[in-house]
């Protein structure tokens, strides 16, 4: 791995294990192309690559580095579906259109899988399986969801009973689970770097350190201004996250910024394999705050403690360590080696924003919470729309642009995060209490507990000075729409 990846990307386990990748030069002159894609995250990379494969000339502009934020520094889960439950999608668009949307989500997942396999992308390390586990004992609702997805939507999915879950994940915190065997997890930064190389091989002109500072969307040839050059194109694709607000403020105002915090432990040895006998990904609860997976054979990568304001990831080390201890006390007090964060953009309705804003101006955004498959899906939808005139993207018209509420919306969202976490924990305690009353003998597995906090001198790495478990929000959160 070369120096620029280490120095130009946020410190993380992903950056520390990234494959070698060249640094692309900025745009320094005017350029005429068929399509200009703004944003080199997963959506922008896929869109640019697929349009170029259709024989069109493409310029891809990135303000910093390839996949420098959420696209390269997320949990790496490649899942079917969307960030909202299938029932909510049915309620909004009807059962038949919901089936079409689900099929598109699975096509996105398969695009990622096929791209990795066909190109033999280095350092991506796909591992099959995703368990969405339940901390409550409501098996009937879980089984009903599995039957709906399997029988009516054709999904490859199965329900796991409590015994099977606890044989696989050695914790009494979990009851039933939904297993998606064709879901998988990857090294997201290495996938993005590999995708960038594939886009260039298809003919895409990739420019890093080239922010789009202004856009003139009028006329047949749109104009995109950058600090040192101008791009003229018949089509412009805005494939940005919350940072799109710097270019188009009103679009930025439709996204709620959510920072997620991730950590990897030091090597835990054989104890980790004994606690987690599952090579896939795990989402912890109905409104999962924690997602985790085993990486490097014996390290645990975990995310959680979402906030709507940016904070130093080190302030969440103790909370994430406590989450691990509550689930798997047999691991003891684990040491955290890498801590990082990324900001994602969530829409009010929870679904992606995909479509044509005005003639020749396209949007691919709002993937927060479920972005790996949906960014791939969006890139292909927009590429087919531009190159072939395909209109499958219109399936997303019911999910219109909605203002996220500014500072008030962010405050309400943070309260919702806290409330969801508290209610989930309360339901979990009740479920464990009912189980204990039904079976008074000691359970075979150790009961979940909260880790005891040692003195500050016992902490290692970034936790040497013990922070507060959670960073309190500012009195007036920043309004991204301002």
Q: Please check whether residue 431 lies inside any domain of the structure.
A: no
Beta strand 214-216 with 222-226 is antiparallel
265: tokens are 């432990």
Q: Please check whether residue 329 lies inside any domain of the structure.
A: no
The span from the CA of 170 to the CA of 271, in Å, is: 11
Give pLDDT tens digits for 365-406. Answer: 999 889 999 999 999 999 999 999 999 999 999 999 999 888
What is the tally of structural domains in the chain?
A: 1
The span from the CA of 362 to the CA of 369, in Å, is: 22
The pLDDT assigned to 416 comes to 85
96: tokens are 């038949």
60 Cβ neighbours under 8 A, 6+ residues apart: 36, 37, 40, 44, 45, 48, 199, 204, 205, 206, 207
The pLDDT assigned to 285 comes to 67
Is the CB of residue 469 less than 8 Å from the CB of residue 313? no
One DSSP character per residue, 57-97 reads: -EEEE-SSSTT-STTTSS--EE-SS-SS-HHHHHHHH-HHH
Give pLDDT tens digits for 436-465. Answer: 888 655 445 444 443 334 433 333 333 333
Q: What H or E segment, with its residue span, contains residue 436?
A: helix 406-438
CATH number of the domain within which 201 lies: 3.50.50.60
CB-based burial label for 145 (10 Å; 0-12, 13-18, 19+): middle
The structure tokens 């101006």 sit at 361
Q: Please check whether residue 458 lies inside any domain of the structure.
A: no
Is the CB of residue 29 less than 8 Å from the CB of residue 229? yes
DSSP secondary structure letter of residue 392: G
Q: Please check whether residue 321 lies inside any domain of the structure.
A: no
Is the CB of residue 282 less than 8 Å from the CB of residue 324? no
pTM: 0.88
Q: Please check whether residue 16 lies inside any domain of the structure.
A: no
| Number of helical (H) and strand (E) elements in the chain, helices listed first | 13, 17
440 Cβ neighbours under 8 A, 6+ residues apart: none
Q: Please check whether residue 423 lies inside any domain of the structure.
A: no
CB-based burial label for 163 (10 Å; 0-12, 13-18, 19+): exposed
Q: Tell me, rounded to whole angstroms, the distance of Cα 366 from its chain centroid.
A: 11
The pLDDT assigned to 481 comes to 29
The pLDDT assigned to 31 comes to 98
The span from the CA of 37 to the CA of 35, in Å, is: 6
Sign of the CA dihedral 4, 368, 461, 472? positive
Q: Please check whether residue 337 lies inside any domain of the structure.
A: no
The span from the CA of 111 to the CA of 159, in Å, is: 25
> Residue ranges of the alpha helices (H) in 159-316?
162-168, 188-201, 249-252, 270-275
Range of the domain at 164: 25-315+342-396
Residues of the chain falling short of pLDDT 70: 1-7, 285-288, 439-482
The pLDDT assigned to 468 comes to 38
């Amino acid at each position: 791995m070369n120096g620029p990846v280490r120095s130009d990307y946020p410190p993380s386990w992903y950056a520390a294990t990234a494959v070698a990748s060249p640094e692309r030069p900025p745009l320094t002159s005017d350029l005429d192309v068929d399509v200009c894609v703004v944003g080199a995250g997963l959506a922008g990379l896929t869109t640019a690559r697929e349009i170029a494969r259709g024989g069109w000339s493409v310029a891809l502009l990135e303000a910093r580095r390839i996949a420098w934020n959420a696209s390269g520094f997320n949990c790496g889960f490649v899942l079917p579906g969307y960030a909202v439950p299938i029932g909510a999608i049915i309620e909004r668009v009807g059962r038949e259109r919901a089936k079409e949307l689900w099929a598109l989500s699975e096509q996105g997942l398969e695009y990622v899988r096929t791209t990795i396999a066909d190109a033999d992308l280095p350092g991506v390390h796909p591992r099959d399986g995703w368990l969405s586990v339940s901390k409550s004992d409501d098996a009937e609702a879980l089984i009903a969801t599995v039957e709906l997805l399997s029988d009516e939507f054709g999904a490859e999915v199965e329900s796991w009973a409590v015994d099977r879950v606890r044989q696989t994940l050695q914790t009494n915190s979990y009851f039933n689970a939904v297993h998606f065997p064709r879901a998988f997890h990857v090294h997201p930064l290495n996938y993005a770097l590999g995708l960038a190389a594939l886009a260039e091989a298809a003919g895409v002109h990739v420019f890093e350190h080239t922010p789009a500072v202004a856009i003139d969307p009028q006329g047949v040839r749109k104009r995109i201004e950058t600090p040192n050059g101008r791009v003229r194109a018949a089509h412009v694709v805005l494939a940005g996250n919350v940072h799109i607000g710097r270019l188009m403020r009103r679009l930025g105002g439709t996204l709620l910024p959510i920072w997620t915090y991730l950590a990897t432990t030091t090597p835990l040895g054989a104890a980790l394999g004994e606690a987690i006998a599952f090579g896939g990904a795990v989402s912890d609860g109905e409104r999962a705050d924690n997602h985790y997976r085993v990486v490097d054979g014996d390290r645990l990568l975990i995310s959680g403690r979402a906030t709507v304001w940016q904070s130093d990831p080190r302030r969440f080390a103790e909370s994430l360590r406590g989450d691990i201890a509550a689930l798997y006390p047999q691991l003891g007090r684990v040491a955290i080696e890498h801590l990082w964060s990324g900001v994602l953009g969530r829409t009010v309705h929870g679904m992606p924003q995909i479509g044509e804003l005005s003639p020749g101006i396209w949007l691919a955004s709002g993937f927060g919470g479920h972005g790996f498959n949906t960014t791939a899906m969006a890139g292909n939808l927009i590429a087919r729309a531009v190159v072939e005139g395909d209109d499958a993207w219109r399936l997303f018209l019911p999910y219109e642009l909605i203002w996220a509420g500014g500072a008030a919306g962010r405050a309400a969202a943070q309260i919702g995060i806290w409330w969801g976490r508290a209610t989930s924990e309360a339901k979990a305690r009740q479920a464990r209490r009912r189980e204990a009353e039904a079976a008074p003998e000691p359970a075979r597995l150790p009961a979940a507990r909260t880790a005891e906090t040692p003195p500050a001198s016992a902490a290692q790495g970034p936790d040497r000075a013990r922070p507060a478990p959670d960073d309190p929000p500012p009195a007036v959160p920043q309004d991204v729409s301002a």
